[in-house]
Structure 1
Amino acid sequence: MQQEKLHNVIDAFCFDGECVNIKPITQGYINATYCLTFELKGNQTKRYILQSINTNIFHNPQQLMYNVEKITSHIKAKLIKRGGNPQREVLNIIPLKQGGSLYHDTDNRYWRAYLYIEDATAFDQITDSILFERCGKAFGKFQKQLSDFDANSLYEIIEGFHNTPRRYQHFCDIMRDDPVNRVNDVITEIQFIKEREKELSVIMDLMKNGSIPVRVTHNDTKLNNIMMDNQTGEGICVLDLDTVMPGCGLFDFGDSIRNGASTASEDEPDLSKVMLDMTLFKAYTKGFLSETKEILNKTEIKHLVFATKIITLEQAIRFLGDYINGDTYYRIERPQHNLDRARTQIQLVKEMEAHFDEMQQIVADYAK
């Protein structure tokens, strides 16, 4: 982006001091992100995060920022009441000089800014079980902080995001149309999913009858969405709140396991390398339930492991559906990339089914 236009955006926000450095951050895949350094009096500096929201994915930035403002305000109030550090333990939104938090520039881009969280690190890879336990504790604390928040007051940023029956129906439509003649090549994978068709609606049915409550959900519970304190090693702040919306809290737990407790990457073609690391599962569960066992009801605790399986199966459905559809949604780097992704998820489901009783016992032990 041209420096002049970027400075115009910067000038719209209530930053302290004079901007002396603009550094692009390239780790993210969705939003354009910059780290800004401002010089204050006395040779001190202060850093901020500036982001342009990707409206190809998030079609309504106003609703997105409404959600972010509501939940960060709720968490901040709790931190202040309990003697926490609201400057580091929750995202701090920087307002505009003319009011509000969302800047709309002349190129139809939407911008927002946060205070940079100093002396903390976001890790991209799980190096040991202790780190994964702290990840579980951080996301568990996030759910606990929002357990008394009315989730239904938030906007649904991506409609039906984890509505597994709807995802399956879309998958069936793609199979029926078979636009690029791939169905016959993946009969085994399709059959695996069809054999579990009746399980796909269980969580949604429990939510409809009120057995599982609607909660504030993060929907992107990866390790690198947590800032870990450099001194204590503990998770202090959950990042990337763009997909926060009403949903099933169990799926946040399940997606963390799907992402973090697998022994292989999501697109590993050698399925012999794809296993469920039970040490990592146990670590995350310990951390997560240390914060949430008092807020989750008995039905939620009973279905934590089941939801982990369903969210993994849902992702298999999405990957396989995109392969059958001609690879129109997920970016691919080789001809069978989406098929490899689908097969790793199916293999993980098999692993979860094989370890189901053991996983249930671990949940029961830490839920006491």
Structure 2
Amino acid sequence: MLTDVQQIQQKILPHYLPESQLACAALTVVPLGNGHINQTWLVRTMQQAFVLQQINTQVFPAPWAVVENADLIARHLQQQQQVGSYALQITTPVRTLDNALAVDDAELGFWRAISCISDSHSIEQMRNPEQARQTAFAFGSFAAAMAEFDAKQLQETIGDFRNLAARMRLLTQQIQRDSHHRVADCQQWLDFAFSQQHVLAEVAEIEAKLPLRTCHNDTKINNLLFDTRQQPRAVVDLDTCMSGYLMYDFGDMVRSCCASVAEDSTCLNDINLLPDYFAAISQGWLQALAPMMTHVERDSLWLGVKVVTLMLAVRFLTDYLAGDCYFRISHDGHNLERAINQFTLYQRLLEQESQLQTLICS
């Protein structure tokens, strides 16, 4: 649902701001970020600033779970911060004037507000290996700070989010429906996806040995805020935080930060994983988490890289067949281009496997 600023000011902001701030000429509401899923605005008055977000309830059918999880995580991180076990800043829910975590408006949908961290910015693309190390250390520090939190307290915000077997089943369903007559456009990549089903057995075997952790599940660099010195300042976007396995957070970080080109690039010959970035991410991740990780968790990291890359390729392809209803697209065929890009990256991973695996332990 597209919402204009006037609607936000008339219907949503009165839940958060007193009349004196609503009527002030200094009030501004401007779009923020370029996420695939939710719509986000930065709200400023003379007295305060906060992030206002409309939750996409097609993607998050239980939006109260999203905001309640975020509240639990923020409370735990604040406790860790107070005892010196978490050095990053924390984004916290901004409650309504009635002390609610969100606004569920019959016309405009589900809205929540989050604290704004001043003098910070996000980065869309990794610039050098040191930044890769810092990113991994920040996400690793988040995971380490959540280690004592009972992950089972978190509600599921997206079902089977990191479940490759479930993702393959959804792909099969879309093939059978072929409601948009697109199967013929991508038969080569469908064949390749199903040729990799042997990975499912490897995943099932190792998951049975892994401890359940609180996982961020979207460990891209643009989900970090940086300060003016280009140092990581806060981990943000907790919408997909759920119980899970650390190999997937590591894998998603590598997939998104170490690829040589953007995930929708059509220059397939240029796609590969950058070894120096991969080594830096491995170093930062283990620097933050090595003391608490089990041997099996450490051994699972490379599998996490492969599975997350393959899984995202399958998700892009499934969404293409379904009519592009999950990921935002900028042109026809965008999700197919993304899928081909990620399948190609996955193929490069297999080619680079022996070289890259050794870098995790170096």
> Could you say whether these structures have the same fold, taking a TM-score greater than 0.5 normalized by the shorter chain as the test?
yes
Deviation at 1:312, TM superposition (A): 0.6
**Alignment-mate amino acid for residue 137 of structure 1:** F
3-state SS of paired residue (2:234): strand
Within a 5 Å distance, the mapping from 1:7-18 to structure 2 comes to: 7-11=13-17
Identify the residue that residue 61 of structure 1 maps to in structure 2.
63
Aligned partners of 1:37 and 1:224: how far apart in 2?
Answer: 22
Identify the residue that residue 355 of structure 2 maps to in structure 1.
358
Q: Could you list the runs of 5+ residues in structure 2 that have no partner in the other structure?
A: none
Query: CA offsets per residue over residues 19-52 of structure 1, 9 Å max, x none?
Result: 8322312323333333233435xxxxx4322333
| Structure 1 residue 253 corresponds to structure 2 residue 253 | no
TM-score (norm 1): 0.87
Cα separation, partners in 2 of 1:107 and 1:142, compared to 1, 3 Å? same
**Alignment-mate amino acid for residue 190 of structure 1:** L
State whether residues 152 and 243 of structure 2, in contact with CA within 8 Å, keep that contact through their aligned partners in structure 1. yes
Aligned partners of 2:255 and 2:85: how far apart in 1?
Answer: 34
| Structure 1 residue 26 corresponds to structure 2 residue 26 | no
**Alignment-mate amino acid for residue 265 of structure 2:** E
Within a 5 Å distance, the mapping from 1:48-87 to structure 2 comes to: 48-82=50-84
**Alignment-mate amino acid for residue 310 of structure 1:** V
Aligned partners of 1:279 and 1:58: how far apart in 2?
Answer: 36
Q: Once superposed, what is the RMSD of the aligned Cα atoms?
A: 2.5
Query: CA offsets per residue over residues 148-174 of structure 1, 9 Å max, x none?
Result: 111111100001111101111222233
Identify the residue that residue 295 of structure 1 maps to in structure 2.
292
**Alignment-mate amino acid for residue 28 of structure 2:** I
**Alignment-mate amino acid for residue 154 of structure 1:** L
Cα separation, partners in 2 of 1:276 and 1:5, compared to 1, 3 Å? same
| Structure 1 residue 4 corresponds to structure 2 residue 10 | yes
**Alignment-mate amino acid for residue 9 of structure 1:** H
State whether residues 164 and 201 of structure 1, in contact with CA within 8 Å, keep that contact through their aligned partners in structure 2. no
Query: CA offsets per residue over residues 119-138 of structure 1, 9 Å max, x none?
Result: 22211221222212111111
**Alignment-mate amino acid for residue 57 of structure 2:** T
3-state SS of paired residue (2:94): coil
Identify the residue that residue 96 of structure 2 maps to in structure 1.
96
**Alignment-mate amino acid for residue 157 of structure 1:** T
TM-score (norm 2): 0.88
State whether residues 42 and 52 of structure 2, in contact with CA within 8 Å, keep that contact through their aligned partners in structure 1. yes
Identify the residue that residue 229 of structure 1 maps to in structure 2.
227
Deviation at 1:331, TM superposition (A): 4.2
| Structure 1 residue 118 corresponds to structure 2 residue 125 | no
Cα separation, partners in 2 of 1:325 and 1:68, compared to 1, 3 Å? closer
State whether residues 163 and 204 of structure 1, in contact with CA within 8 Å, keep that contact through their aligned partners in structure 2. no
Cα separation, partners in 2 of 1:115 and 1:188, compared to 1, 3 Å? closer
Cα separation, partners in 2 of 1:291 and 1:333, compared to 1, 3 Å? same
Greater displacement, 266-275 / 181-190: 181-190
Cα separation, partners in 2 of 1:328 and 1:198, compared to 1, 3 Å? same
**Alignment-mate amino acid for residue 42 of structure 2:** C
**Identity fraction in percent:** 27
Cα separation, partners in 2 of 1:304 and 1:100, compared to 1, 3 Å? same
Identify the residue that residue 210 of structure 2 maps to in structure 1.
212
State whether residues 38 and 53 of structure 2, in contact with CA within 8 Å, keep that contact through their aligned partners in structure 1. yes
State whether residues 16 and 96 of structure 2, in contact with CA within 8 Å, keep that contact through their aligned partners in structure 1. no
Q: Could you list the runs of 5+ residues in structure 1 that have no partner in the other structure?
A: 41-45
Greater displacement, 112-121 / 28-37: 28-37
**Alignment-mate amino acid for residue 26 of structure 2:** V
Query: CA offsets per residue over residues 204-225 of structure 1, 9 Å max, x none?
Result: 4433x3x112211112111111
Cα separation, partners in 2 of 1:192 and 1:155, compared to 1, 3 Å? same
3-state SS of paired residue (2:155): coil
3-state SS of paired residue (1:237): strand
Aligned partners of 1:300 and 1:28: how far apart in 2?
Answer: 33
